[in-house]
């Protein structure tokens, strides 16, 4: 226990700084992923043909192991001198987030009942009104579930990004491994675990806050 206190005394500021770095990387990637994924998911509900292709590709992307994706990205991004560091990590996280976000948005909007849609059209809503007032509110819990999946997934994958110099909490773990220092490894992993749980918790609160009462169960 005393060892731990001494360790934290020295390393707490660094752990905090790396946690923030980690959260920034993941947060930024998720925001970009949302900007791409949600509109795409909504559009796909109107184009079955494209939906098949996009969902399939997104699902294959998710099966690619993260370290292998980084491995492929380094040579590709080297061509623009961004082989290691923030850029490949960021791009990889955006890619990995696409499947849960697109698929859940697509499925949720698809599952809005035709009667509800008819009623919306019947009372004279325009397409964008129908989308904003009926379809998205009713699809929100499922879309949020997709975002939560993506965030928790990305926080985990972000650890591997330390190997390509993108910083974050993975740094503690990789250093711990090379120095044989379990304190570093354990503090790093616990920080990751807590970050994931806190992020998930916050998103769950947001989800509950903005889910229309009528469909909350």
Query: How many Cβ atoms are within 10 Å of 3's Cβ, its own excluded?
Result: 8
Q: Contact with another protein (CB under 8 A): which of 54, 94, 112, 147?
A: 54
**Least Å from the CB of residue 153 to another protein:** 11
- Shortest reach from residue 201's CB to another protein, in Å: 12
**Among 14, 2, 98, CA closest to 56:** 98
With tokens 């993506």, the residue in question is 150
Residue 215 sits in the site that holds another protein (CB under 8 A): no
Taking CB under 8 A as the criterion, which residues in 93-122 touch another protein? 103-104, 107-108
Count CB neighbours of 83 within 10 A: 16
Q: Does 201 bind another protein (CB under 8 A)?
A: no
What's CA 119's distance to the chain center, in Å?
34
Q: Interface with another protein by CB under 8 A: which range of 1-9, 25-33, 76-84, 114-122?
A: 76-84
CB atoms within 10 A of CB 185: 17
**For residues 25 and 165, what is the distance between their CA atoms, to the nearest angstrom?**
12
Closest by Cα among 100, 103, 56, 96 to 73: 96
Residues making contact with another protein (CB under 8 A): 46-50, 52-54, 57, 60, 63-72, 74-76, 78, 83-84, 103-104, 107-108, 142, 145-146, 149, 152, 155-156, 159-160, 163-164, 170, 173-174, 176-177, 180, 182, 185-186, 188-190, 192-193, 196-197
């Amino acid at each position: 226990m005393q060892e731990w206190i001494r360790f934290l005394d020295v390393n707490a500021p660094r752990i905090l700084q790396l946690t923030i770095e980690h959260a920034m990387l993941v947060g930024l990637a998720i925001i970009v992923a949302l900007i791409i994924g949600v509109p795409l998911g909504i559009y796909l509900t109107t184009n079955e043909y494209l939906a098949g292709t996009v969902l399939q590709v997104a699902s294959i992307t998710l099966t690619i192991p993260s370290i292998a994706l980084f491995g492929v990205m380094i040579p590709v991004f080297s061509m623009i001198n961004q082989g290691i560091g923030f850029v490949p990590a960021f791009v990889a996280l955006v890619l990995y987030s696409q499947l849960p976000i697109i698929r859940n948005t697509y499925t949720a909007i698809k599952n809005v009942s035709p009667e509800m849609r008819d009623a919306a059209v019947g009372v004279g809503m325009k397409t964008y009104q129908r989308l904003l007032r009926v379809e998205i509110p009713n699809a929100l819990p499922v879309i949020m579930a997709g975002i939560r999946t993506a965030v928790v997934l990305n926080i985990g994958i972000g650890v591997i990004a330390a190997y390509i110099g993108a910083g974050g909490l993975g740094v503690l773990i990789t250093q711990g491994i090379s120095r044989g220092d379990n304190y570093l490894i354990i503090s790093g992993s616990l920080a990751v675990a807590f970050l994931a749980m806190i992020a998930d918790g916050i998103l769950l609160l947001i989800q509950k806050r903005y889910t229309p009462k009528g469909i909350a169960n």
